[in-house]
Amino acid sequence: MIEGASWRRWVFFYIPLTAFIIGLLFPFYWMLVTTVRPDSELYRPWNAPNYTPFWTMHPTLEHIRDLLTETLFGTWMFNTMVISISATAISLFCGLLAGYALSRLKFPFAGSLGTMIFITYLVPQTLLFIPLADIIRNFKLGDSPWALILTYPTFLIPFCTWLMMGYFKSIPKELEECARIDGAPRWKAMVYIIFPIAVPGILSAGIFAFTLSWNEFIYALVFLSSPDQKTVPVGVTSELVRGDVFYWGELMAGALLGSIPVAFVYSFFVEHYVASLTGSVKG
């Protein structure tokens, strides 16, 4: 806390904090207001006498209804869900094992291997999609969920591996040594002792991986073309922007509904997630 006179607390704490929170939440508020604003208000010019950009007097759910009935939004949600969960599961599984191996096993080049995995994570997706597109075409995976389920791990696995590596390193190795003396072979020590202790780390890796794949845009845009294969971010932006016509109400409704699962996942696991960031292994 800031010590001293109360004006100092206001100037250095409350006012900056309030500004920060407003800056952070305003886009979400705007999204919400635009979703429930009727079209008649939405396209009213700024110099009209009853122009009210920050609130609406006649909230309506018609944009949400249009989004759900006139577009393939439900299908997009389903696609995104399937792709995100599958990609997250694959990446988490690989990341868990790779992270464990790199942090615990002694083998030649373990250190440089870890660095190399990290470097692959640094290759920008905007470059990587070009060769990947070629691969997708060769394997005839284009325009199917597999195109994304198999390409998302290219950036999720390095990410999960690094996160898990750090987490495993924070677990005292004596726990595992003790388990091995107690009669557990290495894989049992891993499954019964290390993984349960690493649950907070696994959850944060999972949440991050899920969010990254849920919001991913460029691979989804490039590898999918038919409307019924699209994911939410691509579907909403490509199907609701026709030339220079923006269906702002439906766009914002799509953004709003599309962010609900992510918000849900975060709030559900937030306790574990915070615990993992503060390091919670107690001897």
Partner 1 sequence: MAQVIIRSLNKKFEEVHAVKDVNLDIRDKEFVVLVGPSGCGKTTTLRMVAGLESITSGRILIDDKVINDLPPMDRDIAMVFQNYALYPHMSVYDNMGFGLRMRKFDRGDIARRVQEAAEILGIQELLKRKPRQLSGGQRQRVALGRAIVRHPRVFLFDEPLSNLDAKLRVQMRVELKKLHDRLGTTAIYVTHDQVEAMTLGDRVVVMRDGVVQQVGEPLELYNEPANRFVAGFLGSPSMNFATVKVNQDNGAIWAANEGIRIKAPPGCANRLSRYVGKEVTLGIRPEDLHVASAADPAELGFHVVVEVVERLGSEILLDVAVGPDTMVASVEPSVRASVHDRIRLALNPERLHFFDMQSEAAI
Which position has the token pair 């199917």? 144
Per-residue binder mask for partner 1 (CB under 8 A), 77-96, x = binder: --------------------
**Cβ 88 vs Cβ 159: under 8 Å:** no
Binding residue (CB under 8 A) for partner 1 from 24, 69, 131, 174? 174
Contact status: 181 vs partner 1 (CB under 8 A):
yes
Binding residue (CB under 8 A) for partner 1 from 15, 178, 263, 270? 178
Contact status: 111 vs partner 1 (CB under 8 A):
no
Q: Using a CB cutoff of 8 Å and minimum separation of 24, what contacts does 252-256 make?
A: 252/30, 252/31, 252/32, 252/34, 252/35, 252/63, 253/35, 253/63, 253/64, 253/66, 253/67, 254/67, 254/71, 254/73, 255/31, 256/31, 256/32, 256/35
Q: In whole angstroms, how close is the CB of 163 to partner 1 at the nearest point?
A: 20
Binding residue (CB under 8 A) for partner 1 from 179, 224, 240, 256? 179
Distance of CA 75 to the CA centre of its chain: 19
Contact status: 108 vs partner 1 (CB under 8 A):
no
Strand-pairing partners, residue 245, are: 242
**Cβ 248 vs Cβ 34: under 8 Å:** yes
Contact status: 188 vs partner 1 (CB under 8 A):
yes
Binding residue (CB under 8 A) for partner 1 from 109, 112, 226, 282? 282
Residues 195-214 that bind partner 1 (CB under 8 A): 196-197
Give the interface size with partner 1 as a residue count (CB under 8 A).
20
Q: In whole angstroms, how close is the CB of 147 to partner 1 at the nearest point?
A: 39
Binding residue (CB under 8 A) for partner 1 from 23, 49, 185, 243? 185
Q: Where are the alpha helices (DSSP H) in 105-230?
A: 110-122, 125-138, 145-151, 153-169, 173-182, 186-188, 195-197, 199-215, 218-223
Contacting range for partner 1; rule: CB under 8 A; set: 43-51, 65-73, 93-101, 191-199:
191-199
- Nearer residue to partner 1 within complex by CB, 70 or 182: 182
Strand-pairing partners, residue 242, are: 245
**Cβ 87 vs Cβ 156: under 8 Å:** yes
Contacting range for partner 1; rule: CB under 8 A; set: 24-32, 68-76, 133-141, 170-178:
170-178
CA distance 77 to 67: 12
- Binding residues for partner 1 (CB under 8 A): 172, 174-175, 177-185, 188, 192-193, 196-197, 281-283
